[in-house]
Structure 1
Amino acid sequence: MTSPTPPPTAAPLTPVDLFLLGRTLMKIGEDALPAPRVRADGTDRHPGGVRSVLVTLSDVVAHPDSAIGEIARRTGLPQSQVSTAVARLKETGSVETSQDPTDRRRLLVRAADTPSPRVTEVRAAGIEEALARALATTDEQVVTQVTEALALLARYLPPTVVVRPGS
């Protein structure tokens, strides 16, 4: 593979460009995640997409002791996807649930006090190989430059930054 050649002068980003970049980054992130655990019969223990799980977990970390419905409202995910994501996260030990003392029908969700083995594994994973595949390059200098640019963006736009429509 060769180094990708960026356009000589880039036009200003549009909202659509930014949205599409976000989707591309999500796909690269999914590719960089360590393979999910499998059952003894070789099937995935957690079939389905990772996005709803990651979106749910990031919301739970930012808003501990939230009910499923509150998480669904904030994330825009259907309540059924949030419930499934919470069940998966609970099974891996990433989150804990408790009954809401004011309404026994509701579960409150919070991040586990101690990171689960899966969370530790995911946090230790690198992005370089997935980034090189997405960039279609083996040029380590290009991968390093893009990795550094992404690290800069992550410092300025951490997951805790809340963007409200129209703000």
Structure 2
Amino acid sequence: MDGIELFLLGRALMKLGEEALPEPPGGSGQYAGGTRSVVIVAGDIAAHPDTTVGETAQRTGLPQSQVSGAVARLREAGSVETAPDPADRRRTLVRPAPGTSARVAAVRAAGTSKVEEALARALTPAEPDLGAEPAQLAEVTRALELLARHLVPRDGR
């Protein structure tokens, strides 16, 4: 696998992840682009607590206005907290909120079935009547669990 293949795999996995997320309450069905930036921002804030919107924008490559919007959505959902920077009161620091937000709890409650559905659709051959092979679905699921175990940051890591 080369860098291009790895990049394309990452993009494919992001799209599958977006498919597997349940629609937020009051959603319009057209939130994938916004969800992508919110998830990217949430991940950056989790990895860099007590950060600013500008620093998050710089690390993620997202426009500052998009990061600000994502932080506002995350704050409304109870996933992050904001506070003035004690060293420079003009700056606002963003950190993960303690505990699990209602939105994260809803995504987790949806369980793995949404992920399995998205994977099955991605693995379905050109003849949809055949469907995804159960053994293939299980193999891909195990491979993704292995990658997540080694590559996805966990608390305290």
Please tell me the TM-score bracket, short chain as reference: 0.7 to 0.9
2:149 aligned with 1:155, yes or no?
Answer: yes
CA-atom RMSD in angstroms: 1.9
Q: Deviations over 1:70-98 (max 9, x none)?
A: 11111111111110000000011111111
Instruction: Determine what percentage of the aligned residue pairs are the same residue.
Output: 57
TM-score by length of 2: 0.85
Report how far residue 53 of structure 1 moved. Answer: 0.4
- Structure 2 residue runs of 5 or longer lacking an equivalent are 125-130
- Structure 1 residue runs of 5 or longer lacking an equivalent are 1-12, 161-167
Q: Higher helix share goes to which structure?
A: 2
2:94 aligned with 1:100, yes or no?
Answer: no
- The amino acid of 1:29's aligned partner reads G
Separation of aligned partners in 1, 2:103 and 2:153 = 20
Mapping 1:1-167, distance limit 5 Å: 13-38=1-26, 43=28, 48-124=33-109, 125-126=111-112, 127-136=115-124, 137-159=131-153
Number of equivalent positions: 145
Q: Deviations over 1:88-128 (max 9, x none)?
A: 00011111111111222211111110211111122333211
Separation of aligned partners in 2, 1:72 and 1:111 = 16
Contact 2:23/2:29, CA 8 A, preserved across alignment: no
Separation of aligned partners in 2, 1:155 and 1:72 = 27
